[in-house]
A and B are shown apart, each in its own frame.
Chain A
Amino acid sequence: MPYLYNTPDETREMLDAIGVGSIEDLLAMVPADFRLRRALDLPPAMGEMELDQHMQMLAGQNHDASDKVCFLGGGAYDHFIPAVVDAIGGRGEFYTSYTPYQAEVAQGNLQAMFEYQSLVCRLTGMDISNSSLYDGASAAAEGVMMALASKPGRNRVLAPASLHPEYRETIETYLANLDVEVVTLPTPAGVLSIDELRAALNDQTACVLLQQPNFFGCLEDADAATAAAHEAGALLISVFDPISLGLLKRPGDYNAGDGADIVVAEGHSLGSPLAMGGPYLGILACKEALVRRMPGRIVGQTTDRRGKPCFVLTLQTREQHIRRDKATSNVCSNQALFALRAAVYLAQLGPQGLQETAGLCLQKTRYLADRLATTERFKPAFKVPVFKEFVLRDRECDVDAFIAAALDAGFLAGVPLGRWYPDLDDCLLIAVTEKRTKEELDRFVAFVEALAKDTEAAELGEMAESFG
């Protein structure tokens, strides 16, 4: 057995010390009726080398962003990860440690989490950040729960269709058994209409969710949405892309500093791999007035008995291990390792690095969007500015066939939108990060153009045959 120490002799010594004849005797408290009288039906054990070969075999049955050119986004992005992030995140002292309840032997984790919180606050313009939640979608659901708790008597949540559909689904799951109505505002132009938002707001509205850039990559009028929400006495929950804040206004600065009240984000873009969608990093921060309703762990600075500055978990009376059924949330494990990676990433990039990353995303997205719009196959679905993603309408109305052909040609082409939006079932969501080179973008455009020619040739061929 790979990780056990006890030899037969030691086992004997230990059993003698306990005063029993066998390990079986120690298990006597498990009632006989409940004992499994056979071996588990699992494959036999593999040694390390066999395991490694097996895992490589499974990995070999996948294609991924390392062997295909990745244009997939929709909440998960192929951003660059500096080597420093892997080196620090891979240190066993970080990744094999436990939640820092014993502050004396966890100052490393605690200080890193305090720094993460501070970085998130600076990035977003918020006052307080927790030390992470599971992912962007569940952070959005927790943000909505916070908003509902801080607006007693209000039970209406407004979420435009331009919010990530899986975030909306997650919110709806969390609220399933609570008396709350989630209202979806349609976004046929790709963005929320402020007039429709105003019309939908009423004195029952606890919060408005606004994603910036939104699920389609489009830029919303965040200032006006914030103003509208606040005029109706509702909170504004901003869902943001952390990379975009290299260029875009901080949620705390919306509407001339009036600002979002709660901000949530998927933070995997900050130095964590795509990893098939998880584990990811749920970012949640808020204005100071809401801190007592915040879910999850928070690290605070204090002094020790010798007066030395140090860090501890704080405001724990909000949390489930103290407050049990009266807690703000049931969150226990968070994503501390990925919060650490985000802190290292932001420290490594600095203000210029993040600004340059965002700038490259913007420029390359614009370049590819313009080039693809000139092909016969695609036209833009919306006429609004975008940041790192955009939606194309397929004139052939055969998105699945396009994606399959692109995969064969070496591209992970885009996310089909029909699954979530029936009226966009001829649309593709395409993302371009700083990692995409001009050569890759041009190659993709050339592929699309060649495909159009092939289709034309095939159609002509078919016509020739039918007339033949």
Chain B
Amino acid sequence: MRNTQDTQLLFELSHAGRRATRLPACDVPETPVAELLPAGVLAAAPPELPELAEPHVVRHFTNLSTQNMSVDTHFYPLGSCTMKHNPKRNERAAAYFGALHPLQPQESIQGILRLLYEAQQYLCEISGLPACSLQPAAGAQGELAALLVAAAYFKDQGQSHRRKVLVPDSAHGTNPASAVMAGFGVVTVKTKTSGAVDMDDFHAKLDDDIAVFMITNPNTVGIFEPNMGPIAEAVHARGGLIYLDGANMNAILGIARPGDFGVDMQHYNPHKTFSGPHGGGGPGAGPICVTDKLAPYLPAPVVAKRGEGREASGENGGAEYFLDFDRPKTIGRLRSFLGNVGVMVRAYAYIRSHGPDGLRAVSDNAVLNANYLLSRVKHFLPVPQGDRCMHEFVASGAKLKSERGVSAMDLAKRLLDYGYHAPTVYFPLTVKEAIMVEPTETESKATLDAFAETLFKITGEDPDLLHEAPHTTPISRPDEVQAARQPRMCYCG
């Protein structure tokens, strides 16, 4: 049963003089602070933090946690976001590396360096691209990193005139935003109802100024881009590069490799593909893989190895792992230290838990589950892309909207009442009243059946009931206009 009384903010719970953590007494001879630091740098008063007892803190945040849906508690068919089960064994594994300092002598961190080196190799094998940097801190930063790599490469080639990045209109918003941050201009390429790139529009926009074509494949409509071959050929013929937004790698593990279908650079979202928890919005990570000719430009350091080890025996033998900073053509760094190592430990644990057959089974089952759900949903919510999908599909609520006045948002909100997280709605922008569903491989047929039946039931419910949904959640339909017009982003009581 949910606690409905404790909805106060931390600051409202505060009472002067309450304490939780007490620090130990100082065990070295103390000098008055005023003798150690000049008056000008000191605060006039202690920081303005709430004063609470530990039980307050625990109860407050525990009660907040119960107001969240999560993968541990609910089905989360959130298209494009790949909300699959987050294995507990990976959390334990990551904790083994929690007390490592990033600037330790390298001889004292051979275990983690070996892990990261192997993780780089696995990502290369899965992508079909030979070089990898683990540094980017999130998918969007991976995009930025790869575009900066492309810019540096073209500059080196004396081709700085290549200022144009082509992005399909169905792409994630991070793609155009990253291209602009890397100093490129963005040209949008249309896609068709099927989700495929409009080849006429593509050819009309392709010229010798192209730097990069950014493609998501499988794309955001959940299909494998049918023109992938001709697109890569045409872009390469013009001297451009292909970038893969790796958000949907969950669909093709062991089935197809981006490097084999013409991709020059890609990022991974380990929190999607390799099951890192999403953490309410982060952390993720955004490692990138590239072709040999782009390898010199990768963000440094990368993890490298000297000598051969006897790794099967659990000893590194004569092998020595090290951080390779000596990369004169590197684009530099995108954050401090090595990257989101903790996320990579989880990804590594996931890959080692599955092996080659297991990863293939992950994608097979992600595709099976998505197609099965599509086959059940298409009868009452049309799926413009057709009868087949990879790991996700996009249904359209346009007919329901015009006939009954029920929007994709209404459906999404009503699903919350039934204990399902809402699918992604209104994305991609190319499908009217888009409802994007991704069940992932870690759900059962029974869950998919129950979800399809609930969705069907909702489409027949009283429209007024739906407009005001959800009805059972702690709050319903917050006023976002008010939030934006009279922003209140800080407790100032």
Determine if B199 is an interface residue (Cβ-Cβ < 8 Å). Answer: no
| Interface contact B316-A61, CB-CB below 8 Å | yes
Residues facing A in B362-378 (CB within 8 A) are 362, 364-365, 367-369, 371-372, 374-376
Of A36-44, A196-204, A372-380, the one contacting chain B is A36-44
| Interface contact A2-B353, CB-CB below 8 Å | yes
Residues facing B in A42-63 (CB within 8 A) are 42-46, 48, 51-52, 54-63
Show 26 A/B contacts (Cβ-Cβ < 8 Å), sorted by A: A2-B354, A4-B362, A18-B374, A45-B358, A58-B111, A59-B111, A61-B111, A62-B110, A74-B103, A97-B71, A123-B49, A127-B490, A169-B332, A170-B332, A170-B335, A247-B42, A276-B341, A277-B336, A278-B341, A280-B336, A312-B478, A337-B280, A347-B60, A349-B21, A363-B36, A407-B105
| Interface contact A306-B71, CB-CB below 8 Å | no
Which residues of chain B are near A4, meaning CB under 8 Å?
361-362, 365, 441-442
Q: How far is the CA of A100 from the CA of B282 in the complex (A)?
A: 11
| Interface contact A335-B283, CB-CB below 8 Å | yes
Which residues of chain A are near B223, meaning CB under 8 Å?
29
Determine if B397 is an interface residue (Cβ-Cβ < 8 Å). Answer: no
| Interface contact B333-A363, CB-CB below 8 Å | no
Determine if A449 is an interface residue (Cβ-Cβ < 8 Å). Answer: no
| Interface contact B98-A273, CB-CB below 8 Å | yes
Which residues of chain A are near B58, meaning CB under 8 Å?
84, 87-88
A117-B489 contact in complex given A55-B93, A315-B484, C-beta closer than 8 Å = yes
Which residues of chain A are near B29, meaning CB under 8 Å?
367
Out of A61, A114, A274, A364, name the residue touching B102 (CB < 8 Å). Answer: A274
B374, closest chain A residue (CB)? A18
Could you tell me the distance in whole angstroms from the C-beta of A337 to the nearest C-beta in chain B? 3
Residues facing A in B167-213 (CB within 8 A) are 172-174, 176-184, 186
| Interface contact A277-B281, CB-CB below 8 Å | no
Determine if A93 is an interface residue (Cβ-Cβ < 8 Å). Answer: yes
| Interface contact B279-A308, CB-CB below 8 Å | no
Q: Mark B67-109, 1 if CB is under 8 A from A, else 0.
A: 1111111101010010111110101111011111111110111
Of A5-13, A227-235, A452-460, the one contacting chain B is A5-13
Determine if B456 is an interface residue (Cβ-Cβ < 8 Å). Answer: no
Which residues of chain B are near A44, meaning CB under 8 Å?
355-356
Determine if A184 is an interface residue (Cβ-Cβ < 8 Å). Answer: no
| Interface contact A351-B278, CB-CB below 8 Å | no
Of B143-151, B236-244, B400-408, B457-465, the one contacting chain A is B143-151
| Interface contact A105-B69, CB-CB below 8 Å | yes
Out of B109, B356, B388, name the residue touching A40 (CB < 8 Å). Answer: B356
Determine if B390 is an interface residue (Cβ-Cβ < 8 Å). Answer: yes
| Interface contact A273-B99, CB-CB below 8 Å | yes
Determine if A415 is an interface residue (Cβ-Cβ < 8 Å). Answer: yes
Which residues of chain B are near A312, meaning CB under 8 Å?
478, 480, 483
B440, closest chain A residue (CB)? A3
Out of B36, B49, B114, B368, name the residue touching A122 (CB < 8 Å). Answer: B49
- Beyond contacts A98-B421, A109-B68, A177-B183: 16 other A-B pairs, Cβ-Cβ < 8 A, are A17-B375, A23-B368, A26-B388, A34-B229, A48-B353, A55-B96, A62-B112, A92-B73, A93-B70, A253-B43, A312-B480, A325-B179, A336-B282, A338-B279, A351-B51, A364-B26
Could you tell me the distance in whole angstroms from the C-beta of B392 to the nearest C-beta in chain A? 13
| Interface contact A366-B140, CB-CB below 8 Å | no
| Interface contact B388-A34, CB-CB below 8 Å | no
A412-B68 contact in complex given A102-B422, A123-B47, A170-B336, C-beta closer than 8 Å = no
| Interface contact B64-A98, CB-CB below 8 Å | no
Determine if A64 is an interface residue (Cβ-Cβ < 8 Å). Answer: yes
Number of interface residues of A (CB under 8 A): 207
Could you tell me the distance in whole angstroms from the C-beta of B95 to the nearest C-beta in chain A? 8
Determine if A360 is an interface residue (Cβ-Cβ < 8 Å). Answer: yes
| Interface contact A135-B468, CB-CB below 8 Å | no
Out of A2, A302, A323, A419, name the residue touching B173 (CB < 8 Å). Answer: A323
Determine if A409 is an interface residue (Cβ-Cβ < 8 Å). Answer: no
Out of A14, A82, A100, A319, name the residue touching B280 (CB < 8 Å). Answer: A100
Determine if A330 is an interface residue (Cβ-Cβ < 8 Å). Answer: yes
Q: How far is the CA of A299 from the CA of B416 in the complex (A)?
A: 21
| Interface contact A88-B283, CB-CB below 8 Å | no
Determine if A418 is an interface residue (Cβ-Cβ < 8 Å). Answer: no
| Interface contact A84-B97, CB-CB below 8 Å | no
Number of interface residues of B (CB under 8 A): 204
Out of B38, B104, B141, B478, name the residue touching A219 (CB < 8 Å). Answer: B38
Determine if B30 is an interface residue (Cβ-Cβ < 8 Å). Answer: yes
Residues facing B in A68-97 (CB within 8 A) are 68, 70, 72, 74-76, 78, 80, 82, 84, 87-88, 90-97
Residues facing B in A186-228 (CB within 8 A) are 212, 219, 221-223
Could you tell me the distance in whole angstroms from the C-beta of B258 to the nearest C-beta in chain A? 9
Q: Mark B145-170, 1 if CB is under 8 A from A, else 0.
A: 00010011000000000000000000
Which residues of chain A are near B260, meaning CB under 8 Å?
34, 36
| Interface contact B341-A277, CB-CB below 8 Å | yes
Out of A132, A266, A332, A343, name the residue touching B139 (CB < 8 Å). Answer: A332
Pick the 5 closest A-B CB pairs, nearest first: A177-B183, A277-B337, A277-B102, A61-B111, A337-B279
| Interface contact A347-B256, CB-CB below 8 Å | no
A350-B20 contact in complex given A41-B356, A59-B111, C-beta closer than 8 Å = yes
| Interface contact B101-A36, CB-CB below 8 Å | no
Determine if B246 is an interface residue (Cβ-Cβ < 8 Å). Answer: no
| Interface contact A29-B224, CB-CB below 8 Å | yes
| Interface contact B62-A91, CB-CB below 8 Å | yes
Q: How far is the CA of A380 from the CA of B15 in the complex (A)?
A: 44
Which residues of chain B are near A300, meaning CB under 8 Å?
483-484, 487-489
| Interface contact B362-A40, CB-CB below 8 Å | no
Which residues of chain B are near A321, meaning CB under 8 Å?
172-174, 427
Q: Mark A138-167, 1 if CB is under 8 A from B, else 0.
A: 100000010000000000000000001011
Determine if B33 is an interface residue (Cβ-Cβ < 8 Å). Answer: yes
Q: How far is the CA of A346 from the CA of B103 in the complex (A)?
A: 26
A51-B177 contact in complex given A169-B332, A279-B285, C-beta closer than 8 Å = no
Q: How far is the CA of A94 from the CA of B357 in the complex (A)?
A: 32
A332-B100 contact in complex given A137-B336, A348-B57, A441-B28, C-beta closer than 8 Å = no
| Interface contact A333-B375, CB-CB below 8 Å | no
Which residues of chain B are near A303, meaning CB under 8 Å?
478-479, 482
A129-B28 contact in complex given A278-B335, A320-B177, C-beta closer than 8 Å = no
Out of A10, A13, A248, A347, name the residue touching B52 (CB < 8 Å). Answer: A347
Residues facing A in B43-67 (CB within 8 A) are 43-44, 46-52, 54, 57-58, 60-62, 64-67
Which residues of chain A are near B151, meaning CB under 8 Å?
176-177
| Interface contact A403-B105, CB-CB below 8 Å | yes
Which residues of chain B are near A87, meaning CB under 8 Å?
58
| Interface contact A250-B43, CB-CB below 8 Å | yes
Q: How far is the CA of A250 from the CA of B173 in the complex (A)?
A: 36
Out of A62, A350, A407, name the residue touching B49 (CB < 8 Å). Answer: A350
